[in-house]
Amino acid sequence: MLRLDAAPARAFLDEADALDRLRPRVEAAHRAVLDGSGQGGDMLGWRRLLRAPNDALLEDLETTAARIREDADVLLCIGIGGSYLGAKAVIDALTPYFRAPSRRAGNDLFGEAARNAPEILFAGHHMSGAYLRELLAYLDGQSVYVNVISKSGTTLEPALAFRFVRRWLEERFEDANRRIVVTTDPEQGALNALRAEKGYKKYEIPPDVGGRFSVLTPVGLLPIAAAGIDVRSLFYGAVAAFERLAAPEDNAALEYAALRYALHQQGYGTEVLAVFEPRLAGIGGWWQQLFGESEGKEHRGLFPATLQYSTDLHSLGQYLQQGRRTLIETFLMAEHDGGDLRVPATEADLDGLNYLAGQTLRHVNRQAYEGTAHAHAEGGVPVMTLWMDRIAPGPLGELLYFFEHAVAVSAYLLGLNPFDQPGVEDYKRAMFNRLGRP
C-alpha cells in the first residue's frame, strides 16, 4: 500500500494548524471529485471505469496484445501527451533496462511475458524528421505493428507521423491494415474516417476521460499489455486505491494535495518529483503532464519538474540545495527496487571502497536518498516521500490513481477546472497560422 511521509514538509508550514484549518475545503474538494459537482464534473470517466471494471474489455485487450506479441518484433505507438506518457511510464517501470540481443534471453527480474515482448517504440510525440527517418530505417526488416492513439484524431504530431508510417507499412506488408490498431474517440476525428476505409481494429477512448487521465483505458492498456505486463494487476491496483481513497479519513492523496496547496499559498512555486530508481523516471514524466496541464492555469499552480537521482544531484542538486527557496520536493521511492547487487571486496582496496564491501547497491542508494532528503530539508526545502512497496503492476496502478485523485482535489483547491487545457490551444493557433492550415 502507498504511504506518504510528509512530516518533514509539514515542518515548513507557517502556522502549525494550517492543515486543520484547510481541512473543510479539502473535504469539499474531495466530495466534488466523488460526486461530480465540481468544474469539469462531466470528465470523471477515469473514476467511473474503476467503479465498474470492464473485464470483457481487459480480455479483449489481452487477446489483441497476445496477437501482437506473437507476431511483432516492434510495436510502434504513435501518440503525444496523454496519448503516450502513461503507457511509456508503466512500460519503462516494468520492463528490463536492457534488451538481450536475442529477445529470448533475459533478465530474471521480469516474467517470461516481459522478456519475450516485442520492443515498444514511440513516435508522433514530436516532429523531428531525423527521428522519423532513423526510426523507419531501424524498423526495416522487422515485423512491425502500429498502435495509433489520438482522442481527437487531429493532433498534428501523431497525425503526421501516422501518415508516414502508414505508407511505409503499406509498402512492406500485404496485411498492413491488420497490423494497425487505432485508439480514438468513439465517433469523432480523422482516425475514424481512416478506420472506416481500411478496416483497422479499433479501441475507443471514453469521451468522459481526458488524455492525461486515460492510462487505464485502451490508450495505456494495449501498449502495456503488448509489453508483457499484467494489465489486470495494474488495473485492479488502481481499483483498490479508488476504493481506499474514497474515504476522507486517513487519505494520503488528500494529505498530499493539502500540503502542496498550503505551501503554494505560502509562496512555493515549484514541485520537484525525484526518483532514485531510473525505471521510475517515466512516472515522473507522466506526473509532470498530469499536474502541469491540470493545475497550470489562470497564473496559478506549482510548476512540476521531475528529476532522476543520483544523476541529477550532480547537475541540479546544487540548485536544490542552495538556489531560490521556492521549491518543494517529493521523493517517489520503492521499498524493494531489485537492486540487490553486493559490492565486492578487493584485497588492495586501491579505490578505497572496501568500507562498502558486502553492502547491496540498494542499501547504498537508500543512504543516498536519506542523505539527500536530510540535506535538502536542512537547506530549506520542504520534502516529503511517497513510498511504494515494490515496483510491480499492482502498486503502480495504485500510484496512478493516487496522483489522479490528488491532482483533481488540488485543482479544485485552487479554484480551477482540472480537466481542460485551454492554454495549449494558443501555440497551436500560432503554429497553424504559420503553416497555412485552411
C-alpha cell of 408?
A: 483533481
Which residues on adjacent β-strands are paired with residue 117? Answer: none
Residues in the chain: 438
Stretch that binds ligand PA5, among 206-214, 326-334, 398-406, 408-416 (CB under 6 A): 206-214
Helix axes 218-226, 55-71, angle to 10 degrees: 40
Complex with ligand PA5: residue 6 or 146, whichever CB lies closer: 146
Q: Would you call 293 a catalytic residue per the annotation?
A: yes
d(CA 222, CA 62): 8
Residue 411, C-beta contacts closer than 8 angstroms, at least 6 positions apart: 294, 295, 301, 417, 418
User: Does 81 contact ligand PA5 by CB under 6 A?
Assistant: yes
User: Does 83 contact ligand PA5 by CB under 6 A?
Assistant: yes
Q: Are 118 and 67 in contact (CB under 8 A)?
A: no
d(CA 96, CA 106): 8
Contact code string over 277-306 relative to ligand PA5, x by CB under 6 A: ----------------x-------------
Q: Are 368 and 310 in contact (CB under 8 A)?
A: yes
Stretch that binds ligand PA5, among 2-10, 36-44, 96-104, 146-154 (CB under 6 A): 146-154
d(CA 48, CA 36): 11
Cα–Cα nearest to 337, from 297, 258, 390, 413: 390
User: Does 151 contact ligand PA5 by CB under 6 A?
Assistant: yes
d(CA 152, CA 157): 12
The residue annotated as part of the active site, out of 255, 277, 293, 404, is 293
Stretch that binds ligand PA5, among 140-148, 163-171, 191-199, 207-215 (CB under 6 A): 207-215
Q: In angstroms, what is the minimal distance from the CB of 84 to ligand PA5?
A: 8
Stretch that binds ligand PA5, among 74-82, 133-141, 233-241, 242-250 (CB under 6 A): 74-82
User: Does 147 contact ligand PA5 by CB under 6 A?
Assistant: no
The residue annotated as part of the active site, out of 171, 187, 314, 425, is 314
Q: In angstroms, what is the minimal distance from the CB of 161 to ligand PA5?
A: 11
Q: Would you call 428 a catalytic residue per the annotation?
A: yes
User: Does 211 contact ligand PA5 by CB under 6 A?
Assistant: yes
Place of cell 494487476: 233
Q: Would you call 363 a catalytic residue per the annotation?
A: no
User: Does 155 contact ligand PA5 by CB under 6 A?
Assistant: yes
User: Does 82 contact ligand PA5 by CB under 6 A?
Assistant: yes
User: Does 395 contact ligand PA5 by CB under 6 A?
Assistant: no
Complex with ligand PA5: residue 81 or 304, whichever CB lies closer: 81
User: Does 385 contact ligand PA5 by CB under 6 A?
Assistant: no
Q: Site for ligand PA5 (CB under 6 A): which residue of 8, 38, 118, 210?
A: 210
User: Does 329 contact ligand PA5 by CB under 6 A?
Assistant: no
CA 23, 25, 27, 30 torsion: positive or negative? negative
Using CA atoms, how far residue 130 sits from 135, 138, 160, 241, in Å, is 8, 12, 14, 42
Q: In angstroms, what is the minimal distance from the CB of 270 to ligand PA5?
A: 21
Q: Site for ligand PA5 (CB under 6 A): which residue of 115, 179, 212, 376?
A: 212
Q: Are 87 and 225 in contact (CB under 8 A)?
A: no
User: Does 152 contact ligand PA5 by CB under 6 A?
Assistant: yes
User: Does 317 contact ligand PA5 by CB under 6 A?
Assistant: no
Stretch that binds ligand PA5, among 22-30, 150-158, 258-266, 341-349 (CB under 6 A): 150-158
Residue 236, C-beta contacts closer than 8 angstroms, at least 6 positions apart: 53, 394, 397
Cross-sheet strand order for the sheet of 383-390: 3-5, 383-390, 327-336, 270-275, 303-308
Contact code string over 245-284 relative to ligand PA5, x by CB under 6 A: ----------------------------------------
Helix axes 156-172, 129-139, angle to 10 degrees: 30
DSSP 8-state secondary structure symbol assigned to residue 360: B
User: Does 417 contact ligand PA5 by CB under 6 A?
Assistant: no
Which residues on adjacent β-strands are paired with residue 3? Answer: 387
Q: In angstroms, what is the minimal distance from the CB of 421 to ligand PA5?
A: 6
Q: What are phi and psi of 147, to 5 degrees?
A: -115, 110
C-alpha cell of 187?
A: 465517433
Which residues sit at the interface with ligand PA5, rule CB under 6 A?
Answer: 80-83, 150-152, 155, 158, 210-212, 293, 421
Active site residues: 293, 314, 428
